[in-house]
Structure 1
């Protein structure tokens, strides 16, 4: 009679121990799942808080300023096809056109989506500081922008004389673009705009070095 209770007691103890172990494992597993869910929820809420297309005044100023800046660079580059004597100058001009034309279209799209004014092809736009006349002369107030007299002079040139003036003007033009892009990178909020600014800094800084070498400068 005494062995039976002892046997039952041992079985009961074993069952309790097994159940306890199962509960501990379940608790550990549940904790892991809950932690993962919590982290996932935090990630989702963070993503939701990052408002798509959020921008600030600097982003608007960057697009409104860089559009006419790019337009002038493309205009200058377009002159090289039948005026430049250097194959290197022609190749550089072609790269500038191919890089900046799509960026003009992209920035135009941003401004339209934000309900903001888009500069006209001559750079005039009443709402832009320094752009309050229809002649576009206010563009010369922007970093690196060439005045109408310089542009007219470039159009009259050809051959090596054109090459030298084109490169000299484009170096200054690029420096202005880099300055504007640096401001955007530091103060802008719109991801695609700051990303474009970063690309402008990288590409045009390299092109400045390239053009200075063509001009015989270190």
Structure 2
């Protein structure tokens, strides 16, 4: 009887020791798993998520770059039309120093030339980069404007108007220059609005916005010089 109890006691002790070992092993395994999840487990998702989080940004950047580089027929028309338009404005401005009497008109002419000369170079650069022909000097061809109902559509002067301006001086020049330049600017503003509505090339649309702002302000200034409200 005593021997049976001794055997039962030993069995219980062994069972208890085995259970304790199992508990310790389980705890040790759980700790290892947590450590693995805390480093390897977390590192893997971080590694895999990094490209996905950077990918949209990279795609957006590439998309923006591609969008800025794209142009369409409206952008080409804007550049090809604005180059001769600006050239004529510069040609008109070049007449002011030797003919204008008003200091305001002389300064206005200088401002117009200072603003539009660089824009001509920029517009020409765009056309070249697009594989398009840049309008040749003199391509404003007064003969292509002011004919067949084209007069006033873009504010370009006719050959007769240009000749009249060249032959004027003093107050007569100031008045003629101001009136013709208002019409000229109004044409440029309309061309710029068309570019903003139909164009896709970012820099061209930005230039169009600047033309609208600057030339609208100059129209107001010239109307003031003429005594108009």
TM bucket by the smaller chain?
Answer: 0.7 to 0.9
- 8 A Cα contact 1:178 1:205, kept in partner: yes
**Is 1:189 aligned to residue 205 of structure 2?**
no
* Greater alpha carbon shift after TM alignment, 198-207 vs 138-147: 138-147
Deviations 1:51-70 (A, max 9, x none): 66321111110011000100
Distance in 2, Cα, partners of 1:45 & 1:119: 37
SS of alignment partner, residue 79 of structure 1: helix
TM-score by length of 2: 0.79
Q: Which moved more, 1:176-185 or 1:107-116?
A: 107-116
- Ranges in structure 1 where 5+ consecutive residues have no aligned partner: 125-134
Distance 2:198 2:45 in 1: 42
Aligned to 1:87: 103
Give the whole-Å Cα distance in 1 for the aligned partners of 2:122 and 2:220: 27
Return closer, same or farther for 1:206/1:18 CA change in 2, 3 Å cut-off.
Answer: farther
Cα distance in 2, alignment partners of residues 215 and 52 from structure 1: 41
For residue 15 of structure 1, report the CA deviation from its aligned partner.
Answer: 5.3
Is residue 77 of structure 1 aligned with residue 88 of structure 2? no
Name the larger-Rg structure. Answer: 2
Partner of 1:171: 182
Tell me which stretches of 4 or more aligned residues in structure 1 moved more than 3 Å. 1-8, 24-36, 45-49
Tell me by how many angstroms 1:17 deviates.
4.5
Aligned pairs for 1:20-169 (under 5 A) are 20=34, 23=37, 27=41, 30-49=44-63, 50=66, 53-123=69-139, 135-140=141-146, 141=150, 142-169=153-180
Alpha-carbon distance in structure 1 between the residues aligned to 2:221 and 2:136 = 31
Q: Provide the rounded CA distance (Å) in 1 between the counterparts of 2:105 and 2:130.
A: 37
1:210 maps to 2:224: no
Structure 2 gap ranges (5+): 1-12
Structure 2 Cα separation of the partners of residues 207 and 154 of structure 1: 19
Q: Secondary structure at the match of 2:76?
A: helix
Q: Quote the offset at 1:207 in angstroms.
A: 1.0
The structure with more helix, counted as a fraction of residues: 2
The answer as to whether partners of 1:123 and 1:139 remain within 8 angstroms in 2 is: no
